[in-house]
């Protein structure tokens, strides 16, 4: 029922047919790519600005204060004002910095973030690109971001930036293992790496319920490890203000600093969207067994609403991590990964393989 009510595939195909009827296939393809790129850039910027505002409000709620409340109603336009300020600020040239790499680093970070964002399935037919190796693509492209971080820290010619970049490199490379193994565990259950197929397989129930204990373990590890991988608190050792002023982007200003700042929030969205897709059915509604009336009502809620609610609920959990727990030391951070999360992840892969072999899943 959900697919019949809110399937955007026909609309996309009809738009493609109109373009190809009025121009050559080459120009139709170029025009479609340009339109999709512009739409995604706008959505990317709007989501990033909203998440900055949302986190300020979540932080204020936890700390029993108001948060932004001056620019616009309830301070809603505060982040837009901050963005305009960053656009107008001077890009300061750092003495003895490697100019080429210093300028290139924020673009690598933002491009890696944007490429992963393009694979997010918002609803049936509403996806930038649906690769048959979607999970593998996200893992591969997201790991490029650490290159920009390392280049930015090293090229700044600053001890604070270099230490922050080294911490970030060690942290991201370490926690990528647990993130990857958590996804591998779910790929074993699904038998596919294509995000649209993973969602379709959850039409009769989300994998967090169908996958039994291994799926629950994967979810917990995925949330912890991905929070560390995107340098969010309490794992934000790479930009510990009390020790490194701002870490790897200490020497950046203006729009280049905005790129680092925006990519952090968009990485949080991409991680939450991926978890929502793999574990909670993506845009699939909540169905409960043979409750036909309840399931029918759930089908009328637009899939994009389901997807947004799940993603933002997961982002709220990640924000709670930051504003609830104290920051770990770097040795505690690496110990958590190598002595606890990684061995558990390896065991969980074997456990899921055994569960699938024995067909103990729903």
pLDDT number for residue 95: 80
- Is it the case that residue 217 has pLDDT exceeding 90? yes
pLDDT of residue 3: 45
Task: Return the number of other C-beta atoms located less than 10 Å from residue 33's C-beta.
Answer: 11
- pLDDT tops 90 at residue 342: yes
pLDDT in tens, 290-323: 778 888 888 888 889 999 999 999 999 999 988 8
% of the chain with per-residue pLDDT over 90:
36
Place of tokens 């820290």: 153
Residue 1 has pLDDT above 50, yes or no: no
pLDDT computed for residue 2 by the predictor: 47
pLDDT digits (tens, 9 = 90+) for 157-211: 888 888 888 888 888 888 999 999 999 999 999 989 999 999 988 888 889 988 8
Q: How crowded is residue 299: how many other Cβ atoms within 10 Å of its Cβ?
A: 17
User: What is the model's pLDDT at position 60?
Assistant: 92
Question: What is the tens place of the pLDDT at every residue in 128-137?
Answer: 888 889 899 9
| Residue 330: predicted pLDDT | 82
Computed over every residue of the chain, the mean pLDDT equals 87
pLDDT for 244 beyond 70: no
């Amino acid at each position: 029922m959900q697919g019949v009510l809110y399937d955007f595939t026909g609309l996309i195909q009809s738009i493609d047919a109109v373009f190809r009827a009025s121009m050559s296939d080459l120009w139709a393809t170029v025009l479609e790519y340009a339109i999709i790129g512009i739409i995604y850039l706008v959505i990317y910027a709007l989501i990033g600005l909203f998440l900055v505002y949302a986190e300020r409000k979540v932080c204020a709620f936890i700390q029993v204060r108001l948060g932004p409340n001056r620019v616009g109603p309830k301070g809603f336009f505060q982040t837009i004002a901050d963005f305009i300020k960053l656009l107008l600020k001077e890009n300061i040239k750092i003495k003895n910095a490697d100019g080429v790499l210093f300028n290139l680093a924020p673009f690598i970070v933002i491009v890696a973030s944007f490429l992963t964002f393009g694979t997010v399935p918002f609803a049936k037919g509403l996806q930038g690109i649906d690769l048959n190796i979607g999970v593998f693509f996200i893992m591969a492209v997201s790991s490029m971001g650490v290159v920009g971080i390392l280049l930015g820290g090293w090229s700044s010619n600053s001890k604070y930036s270099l230490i922050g970049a080294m911490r970030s490199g060690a942290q991201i490379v370490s926690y990528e293992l647990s993130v990857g193994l958590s996804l591998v565990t779910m790929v074993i259950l699904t038998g596919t790496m294509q995000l649209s197929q993973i969602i379709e397989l959850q039409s009769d129930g989300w994998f967090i319920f169908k996958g039994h204990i291994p799926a629950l373990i994967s979810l917990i590890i995925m949330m912890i490890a991905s929070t560390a991988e995107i340098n969010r608190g309490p794992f934000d050792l790479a930009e510990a203000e009390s020790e490194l002023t701002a870490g790897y982007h200490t020497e950046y200003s203006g729009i280049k600093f905005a790129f680092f700042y925006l990519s952090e929030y968009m990485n949080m969205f991409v991680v939450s969207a991926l978890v929502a897709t793999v574990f909670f059915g993506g845009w699939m509604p909540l169905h409960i067994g043979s409750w036909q009336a309840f399931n029918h009502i759930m089908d009328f809620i637009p899939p994009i609403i389901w997807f947004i609610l799940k993603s933002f609920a997961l982002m709220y959990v990640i924000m709670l991590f930051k504003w609830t727990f104290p920051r770990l030391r770097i040795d505690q951070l690496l110990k958590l990964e190598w002595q606890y999360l990684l061995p558990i992840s390896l065991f969980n892969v074997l456990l899921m393989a055994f569960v699938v072999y024995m067909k103990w899943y729903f």
